[in-house]
Amino acid sequence: MGTKVCKFGGTSLADAAQVRKVEAIVRADPDRRYVVPSAPGKRDANDRKITDLLYLCHNAAAQGIAFDDVWTLICDRFEALVTDLDLTVDLGPQLSQVRRDIEAGAPPDYAASRGEFLTGHVIAGLLGYEFVDAAEVIRFDRHGRFDDDATQSAMQRLADTNHAVVPGFYGSMPDGRIKTFSRGGSDITGSIVARGVGADVYENWTDVCGLLMADPRIIDRPRTIDVLSYGELRELTYMGATVLHDEAIFPVQQAGIPVNIRNTNRPDHDGTMIVPETSPIAHSGTITGIAGRKDFTVIALEKAMMNTQIGFARRVLSVLEAHGISFEHMPSGIDTLSVVVEDAQLNDRLDTVVAEIRHECQP
Ligand code: ASP
């Protein structure tokens, strides 16, 4: 028997109709034995994510403001899920407990994590899989940093089960407190679980058919990237492609487990495969994809015979270093050199930096 870990994002769990698609996907392949759900996301553009509503409840409670209206929205969504899916799961006591905890001053991470926690119960009930609390298997140290060793040992708990649902997004610290990853962190949970159970593939189910070769807001109907390497994904993610949380690649990369980005609304589509650098990749062209980010400054320098000068680039970079500024790219020509710096790094110091470069390098 093979092993697939399937992570489903918020839009795949937004309502009962979406969850039915999730059920059909999981049931279609007996290897899909571990499921990592996010919390229900937006049903349409004007809707709210459960996680956002939970943060709102926490903020209100922290300021001593009643949050009945928001709480009702949360309860209504979970209750509608249970009813529309004909489940016997009773979330009532758990919902009441979460509310009491938030009112009693539970921290924001605890509040936010309850979306995944409750969804995990719904999905486990629907599939007949065991519910394994992420607090048991995803571990953080006492400073709130992800604890790889403790998590690896805790993963034995999953290896002992054949089928399990593990809620995404959170884990626990040694004192039992709940700690979340950054937003969108269920992708990371899925990747850690995939490594923990030695999965053959980590399926990340979302609402697009994988990674596109370009931004569809700019380019009309770009093609899907069929296969790319972990490294290429890192480059594209860094430059703005946002399909997968940017930390999610590391656990699977360590274990050489491929990631398959799939669309819950188009399960017939193969999506995108992200594979180790060593795998043979049959590229459909010489460019894998194009991504871009805004808000950078280019400091363009020109000096005759720059290519023969020793230490020119070092002097330019030492000015940046003295200001604690990192750079992104440094393209150069025979008489030219440019440094590409994020505006946020420059933080209004452009004039000073340019004056110092002028002094150091006489460009
Ligand atoms: N529900 C969390 C968020 O909205 C985590 C996730 O969806 O991955 O950020």
- Binding site membership of 40 for ligand 1 (Cβ less than 6 Å): no
Residue 293 has pLDDT above 90, yes or no: no
Mean pLDDT of 97-103: 97
289 φ, ψ to 5°?
Answer: -170, 165
The residue with tokens 């870990």 is: 5
Q: Which residue has the higher pLDDT, 248 or 287?
A: 248
pLDDT at site 182: 97
What's the full length of the chain, in residues? 363
Mean pLDDT of 255-277: 96
- Binding site membership of 168 for ligand 1 (Cβ less than 6 Å): yes
**Closest to 272 (Cα-Cα) out of 301, 237, 305, 239:** 237
Residue 143 has pLDDT above 80, yes or no: yes
| % of residues, the chain, pLDDT over 70 | 99
pLDDT at site 180: 98
Residue nearest to atom 6 of ligand 1 (CA): 184
| % of residues, the chain, pLDDT over 90 | 84
- Binding site membership of 186 for ligand 1 (Cβ less than 6 Å): yes
Residue 191 has pLDDT above 70, yes or no: yes
Residue 184 has pLDDT above 90, yes or no: yes
Residue 202 has pLDDT above 70, yes or no: yes
- Binding site membership of 182 for ligand 1 (Cβ less than 6 Å): no
268: exposed, middle or buried (Cβ count in 10 Å: 0-12, 13-18, 19+):
exposed
> How remote is the CA of residue 329 from the centroid of ligand 1, in Å?
32
Beta strands in the chain (DSSP E): 4-8, 32-37, 130-131, 164-165, 170-172, 178-180, 201-206, 227-229, 259-263, 272-275, 296-302, 336-342
**Closest to 50 (Cα-Cα) out of 13, 83, 16, 100:** 13
pLDDT class of 158 with cuts at 50, 70, 90: very high
Residue 285 has pLDDT above 70, yes or no: no
Mean pLDDT of 125-152: 97
- In whole angstroms, what separates CA 297 from the centre of its chain? 28
Q: Which atom of ligand 1 lies closest to the CA of 181?
A: 5
Q: How far apart are CA 157 and CA 245, in angstroms?
A: 25
> How remote is the CA of residue 11 from the centroid of ligand 1, in Å?
10
Residue 325 neighbours by CB distance under 10 Å: 17
* Structural tokens at position 86: 């004909």
Greatest extent of the chain over all pairs of C-alpha atoms, in Å = 78
Query: DSSP labels for 305-358?
Result: TGGG-SSHHHHHHHHHHHTT---SB--B-SSEEEEEEEHHHHTT-HHHHHHHHH
Mean pLDDT of 142-170: 95
- Binding site membership of 183 for ligand 1 (Cβ less than 6 Å): yes
pLDDT class of 188 with cuts at 50, 70, 90: very high
> How remote is the CA of residue 39 from the centroid of ligand 1, in Å?
6
pLDDT at site 207: 93
The residue with tokens 């459960």 is: 50
Strand partners, 338: 300
* Structural tokens at position 226: 């069929």
What pLDDT, in 10s, does the model give residues 312-324? 999 999 999 999 9
Mean pLDDT of 23-30: 98
pLDDT class of 283 with cuts at 50, 70, 90: low
Residue 284 has pLDDT above 70, yes or no: no
pLDDT class of 288 with cuts at 50, 70, 90: confident
Residue 15 has pLDDT above 90, yes or no: yes
What pLDDT, in 10s, does the model give residues 203-226? 999 999 999 898 888 999 999 999
pLDDT at site 52: 98
Residue nearest to atom 2 of ligand 1 (CA): 184
pLDDT at site 137: 97
Residue 108 has pLDDT above 70, yes or no: yes
pLDDT class of 199 with cuts at 50, 70, 90: very high
Q: Which atom of ligand 1 lies closest to the CA of 184?
A: 8
The conformational region for residue 184 under phi > 0 = left, psi -120 to 50 = alpha, else beta, is left
Could you tell me whether strands 227-229 and 201-206 are parallel, antiparallel, or unpaired per DSSP bridges?
unpaired
Q: How far apart are CA 72 and CA 57, in angstroms?
A: 11
